[in-house]
A and B are shown apart, each in its own frame.
Chain A
Amino acid sequence: GAGVSQSPSNKVTEKGKDVELRCDPISGHTALYWYRQSLGQGLEFLIYFQGNSAPDKSGLPSDRFSAERTGGSVSTLTIQRTQQEDSAVYLCASSLNGGLREKLFFGSGTQLSVL
């Protein structure tokens, strides 16, 4: 596609339920990132995929969070047993090769609300 696509754009769920957020990066981009933007907190790095390398999971806040990237393209971020503090905008970004000076292209995000 022309840009990074995320779905759904909005998700409302009940506390304790599991949710899956999807990211479709720009075709041909090998690097994919997930960030979280909480109210008043700014952007927080979650996880980074680069090609076939093991992902950098250092930003995942707890073991309830996991992410996969199948076939080096689409990625799914899964949050199990959601809590109210998980409410945030989840942003996905991609870049061509993950290089130091490469531009990141961001999706429009998924607004997650945990009631």
Chain B
Amino acid sequence: GDSVTQMEGPVTLSEEAFLTINCTYTATGYPSLFWYVQYPGEGLQLLLKATKADDKGSNKGFEATYRKETTSFHLEKGSVQVSDSAVYFCALLYNQGGKLIFGQGTELSVKP
């Protein structure tokens, strides 16, 4: 069945370091791919998305490119800030009903 696998956390970085959180998926057909972020004490919110192969989603300095050949959607940011500390979830859209399949989440902690 469809699934999403993320790199294990927690990830601890110093401020201004480069961030990569790996995400790979298995799916039938061509799903849309998403990154969601959950800041401490807050609800989940959409960070970025890509709806077809080779699309690049970007928001708040974060980027991810939909790679069909490697079935990946890795999240990157060139220079992280303390305020980026959160849990990041990779997800794919299972069907038209918006039934998302999520990865297990990766906790990011950025130290000053």
A residues at B contact (CB < 8 Å): 3-4, 31, 33, 35, 37, 40-45, 48, 50, 56, 59, 91, 93, 95, 98-104, 106-109
Chain B 64-112 residues near chain A, CB threshold 8 A? 89, 91, 93-94, 96-105
Once bound together, how far apart are the Cα atoms of A59 and B99, in whole Å? 10
| Nearest 7 pairs of A and B residues by beta carbon | A42-B104, A43-B102, A106-B44, A108-B43, A106-B43, A42-B102, A100-B96
B17 in the interface (beta carbon within 8 A)? no
Q: List 28 A-B contacts (CB under 8 A).
A: A3-B43, A4-B43, A31-B97, A33-B99, A35-B100, A37-B105, A42-B4, A42-B89, A42-B105, A43-B105, A44-B102, A45-B101, A50-B97, A56-B97, A91-B44, A93-B44, A98-B97, A98-B98, A100-B96, A100-B98, A104-B46, A104-B100, A106-B45, A107-B43, A108-B41, A108-B42, A108-B43, A109-B43
Partner of A48, one of B91, B98, B105: B98
B residues at A contact (CB < 8 Å): 4, 6, 32, 36, 41-46, 51, 89, 91, 93-94, 96-105
